[in-house]
Amino acid sequence: MKIALAQVLSTGDPQRNLAIIRDHAKQAAEAGAALIVFPEAMQVAFGNPVEKLAEPVNARWAGLLRQQARDHNIAIAAGMFTPGEGGRVRNTLLVVGPGVDTHYDKIHLYDAFGYLESDAVTPGDTPVQFELEDATIGLAICYDLRFPQLFVRNARAGAQINIVSASWGGGEGKAEQWKALAQARALDTTTFVIAVDQADPESVGRPLKGAAPLGVGYSMAVDPLGRVIAQAGREPELLIVDLDLNLVDEARRKLPVLANAVDL
């Protein structure tokens, strides 16, 4: 199964971001990918008034994303903001395309490193998996990557692949943590982990502003035994990986962590 990792930089303009999605989806489809994964906050980048731009998953922005998926015959996963509770939003990963139309609301909110996502975001409470071609795929967003139980829950529900859509906050050691956590979650679950971050704004000369998490880059695909099989740098980049799902069964025979786990 071919999956595209679109490490891009979203902007404060939802229409411009749709154009970025369109161009990358076209390239991915031409390369034979069944799914293209974009970062978190793809509808509108953090640091902008997301509460004013949030839309339901059946409204205009999501509808245009569905149209792009139809135009290019490819499934698209992209982060957006949907209405939440009490004036807050939900941090949502929307997946649309041939045979799939689902969304996941981020469960673990980024109240860490001096940032309080919960001030503006209502948390989700339900893990989500979907089927595409012959694969079951679990969903996660950014800070979720630090919580093994979500990935295990997806794996126990049949996931062979976990995708993580992120806008990973920068800082000392944060890029190293991103890589280590993606590898750890693959080993925890013997699944492929497809972790797609926003590119590092400074890599294209875009100055950082405020405390909003804007990305460090280093999107990667990790196999079920924790080996990095593809990785981007800091700059915008499109990666295409071809996953052999038979490796999941092979890894689970060698390393039966799901079967051996004991509830304590």
Catalytic (active-site) positions: 40, 106, 142
Residue by residue, DSSP assigns 66-100 as HHHHHHHT-EEEEEEEEE-STT-EEEEEEEEETTE
The residue type at 179: K
Measured over the CA atoms of residue 164, residue 170, residue 171 and residue 175, the dihedral's sign is positive
Do the Cβ atoms of 234 and 200 come closer than 8 Å? yes
Largest CA distance in the chain: 50
Placement of tokens 């499109």 in the chain: 238
User: At a CB cut-off of 8 Å and minimum separation 6, what does 190 contact?
Assistant: 155, 224, 225, 248, 251, 252, 255, 257, 258
Residue with tokens 């008034």: 49
Cα separation, 138 vs 163, in Å, equals 6
Q: How far is CA 232 from the centre of its chain?
A: 15
Instruction: Say whether 228 sits in a helix, a strand or coil.
Output: strand
